[in-house]
Structure 1
Amino acid sequence: MSAASRGQHDFFYTARDGLKLHARVYGTPSPGTWPAVCLPGLTRNARDFEALARILSTDEKRPRQVIAFDYRGRGQSSRDPNWENYAVPVEADDVAAGLTALDVEHAGFIGTSRGGLIVMALAAIRPALIKAAVLNDIGPVIEGAGLAHIRSYLENAPRPASMEEAVRLQRAVHGGAFSALTQEDWERHTRALYTIGANGRPIADFDPRLLKTLKLVDLSNPLPALWPQFEGLRSVPVLALRGENSKLLSRETLDEMERRHPALEALTVDGQGHAPLLETGDLPRRIGAFLTKAERAGRR
């Protein structure tokens, strides 16, 4: 069965600097609904949202178009000759360019980790784009210990000989924080991370030079807080998700986000760490219901 016959297609467009970029589009625009724009984490790609996108785009009562982006250097987007362009402001501009090319004037945004930072950046440069936001395990305060853990893993990540070994390694390394996941979840999550290289072995589907950006972060001092950027979302509904075992987003930061934002819903995802898989458990229903509620409130 082709991608088109499953109600999805690949969309390629050109960034401001000429780089060829990719997004995957599920479904078609539906009257009375906003598209859901999905933005992945640092080294992840559009495939992370495939299961969620299919659920949202084929909902019997309220189907919505879903657009999942590959940032530059990830997935099917071209790698940037200048690795310093792997930066949130550049990637936010790329997403805005992609939405312009797709004739999307506004949408609900779903941002996982770095994707949530990009949502906050868009709230500053293109506020009219954002009608609602789901922030998946990310907030204005990023815990240095959590970022150090991510950097250490990425810099020392094992190189599996097969996809089956890749699944076993992912579960061995991260299983303690993700007790809620099934074997099927681990397989789906891992296959989204890797592509198959010329030698038939799995390789992580991002430009390795992306890791140079992590070396620039001084983890000996607290990371700058992004409260002004977060408060750029005060005018829209926000659903903030936190993995129960997250090391990147603290419970204290989530509480402060609730205090500062008058229309924020907070949800802790049991048995998951950084970052929760959005297609698991009751999360698709909760996300769909949140977007529907925001749409109805916006019409009043």
Structure 2
Amino acid sequence: MPMSERSFLGLSAAGFHRVAYTQWGRDDAPRTALCVHGLTRNGRDFDPLALALADRRRVACPDIVGRGKSDWLANPALYGYPQYCADMAALIARLGVDEVDWIGTSMGGLVGMTLAAQPNSPIRRLVINDVGPLISKVGLQRIADYVGKDPVFDDLAAVESYLRFTLMGFGRLTDGQWRHLAEHAARQRADGLLGLAYDPGIAHAFQAQPMQDVDLWALWDRVRCPVLVIRGADSDLLTAETADEMTRRGPGARVVEFAHTGHAPALMSEDQIAVVRAFLDE
């Protein structure tokens, strides 16, 4: 399936910014899906999934502002869900469709849940990967311990080694998959060394207030579309209790759990991709 790199302009209180995304599949495909990444990640995480879905649909994988090839915001206080939701609404408008299927990992799942809870939401089906309406401060603290840091690396092998440690919750990936993540997680610095492809300023939200559990059940209860929840069996961000409650409240989600993963399943393996595809094809 063809893949192309595209972009559009988002708008914040500080002005316009460029949001990059990759698109897989044909412009005239009968359905459109959005794959939205986690806090420090980028849209290229979804290359294997997007390729698998692109035979029947157009798949757009954005780099949320401050990540990947998208612009960084001059004011880090503007990084947050209102901005991310506004940018994704602009992307849906750019794609020119009335409805989309949404696959969101962690932060991307929360953006999808927020949009799906709105009146007249364009989200037809929602896949939430390892996040839920109750987010434990234990998991948030683990993320806060590394997000916002700006490590420097001599080469791509060092980037890969760093990711294998910080993203060990992704599960048992192949060497090729780790290298793919590293290639798209690295940015070239002015001094010739490598850094990570995200703005350290995205950590502002973690630093602005004391760490505590996040309760979004009122939002979850307003979601009406069919929902698939994917959980890593060892996840510290989405507990088994919260996932079980998600089957009984709101849209009454279906939950699928994967062994040997924490936060969050990478959606790169054939079994994980098959679960997502089957749900979207129903």
Q: Tell me whether the two structures share a fold, i.e. TM-score over 0.5.
A: yes
1:9-48 paired onto structure 2 within 5 Å: 9-17=4-12, 18-29=16-27, 33-48=30-45
Whole-angstrom distance in 2 between the partners of 1:94 and 1:262: 25
- Secondary structure in 1 aligned to 2:229? strand
Say whether 1:249 aligns with 2:238: yes
Q: Which amino acid aligns with 2:37?
A: P
Q: Which amino acid aligns with 1:22?
A: A
Report the Cα offset of residue 53 of structure 1: 0.8
Q: Which amino acid aligns with 2:3?
A: Q
Question: Structure 2 stretches of 5 or more lacking a match?
Answer: none
Whole-angstrom distance in 2 between the partners of 1:110 and 1:72: 18
Question: Structure 1 stretches of 5 or more lacking a match?
Answer: 1-5, 294-300
Report the Cα offset of residue 84 of structure 1: 1.4
Whole-angstrom distance in 1 between the partners of 2:99 and 2:264: 25
Tell me if structure 2 keeps the 8 A contact 1:16–1:97: no
Aligned equivalent of 2:188, options 196, 206, 229: 196
- Secondary structure in 2 aligned to 1:131? strand
Whole-angstrom distance in 2 between the partners of 1:270 and 1:190: 24
Match of 2:54 in 1: 57
Change (3 A) 1:91 1:174: closer
Report the Cα offset of residue 173 of structure 1: 4.6
Match of 1:272 in 2: 261
Whole-angstrom distance in 2 between the partners of 1:123 and 1:262: 10
Residue by residue over 1:124-180, the C-alpha shift from the partner in whole angstroms, topping out at 9 and shown as x without a partner, is 4464311000000010011101110111122557432111122123224544x4552
Match of 1:165 in 2: 158
TM-score for both structures, normalised by structure 2: 0.91
Q: Which amino acid aligns with 2:204?
A: K
Q: Which amino acid aligns with 1:181?
A: L
Say whether 1:7 aligns with 2:5: no
Whole-angstrom distance in 2 between the partners of 1:67 and 1:120: 18
Report the Cα offset of residue 47 of structure 1: 1.0
Match of 2:219 in 1: 229
Change (3 A) 1:166 1:248: same
Q: Which amino acid aligns with 1:28?
A: R
Q: Which amino acid aligns with 2:17?
A: L
Aligned equivalent of 2:59, options 43, 56, 66: 66
Whole-angstrom distance in 1 between the partners of 2:120 and 2:195: 37
Structure in which a larger fraction of residues adopt strand: 2
TM-score for both structures, normalised by structure 1: 0.86
- Secondary structure in 2 aligned to 1:19? strand
Say whether 1:148 aligns with 2:141: yes
Tell me if structure 1 keeps the 8 A contact 2:40–2:147: no
Say whether 1:214 aligns with 2:206: yes
- Secondary structure in 1 aligned to 2:263? coil
Whole-angstrom distance in 2 between the partners of 1:102 and 1:156: 34
Whole-angstrom distance in 1 between the partners of 2:119 and 2:111: 11
Tell me if structure 2 keeps the 8 A contact 1:57–1:65: yes
- Secondary structure in 1 aligned to 2:135? coil
Report the Cα offset of residue 263 of structure 1: 4.5
- Secondary structure in 1 aligned to 2:145? helix
Residue by residue over 1:227-286, the C-alpha shift from the partner in whole angstroms, topping out at 9 and shown as x without a partner, is 1111222x2111101111111110110010011145421011111111110121311111
Whole-angstrom distance in 1 between the partners of 2:278 and 2:27: 18
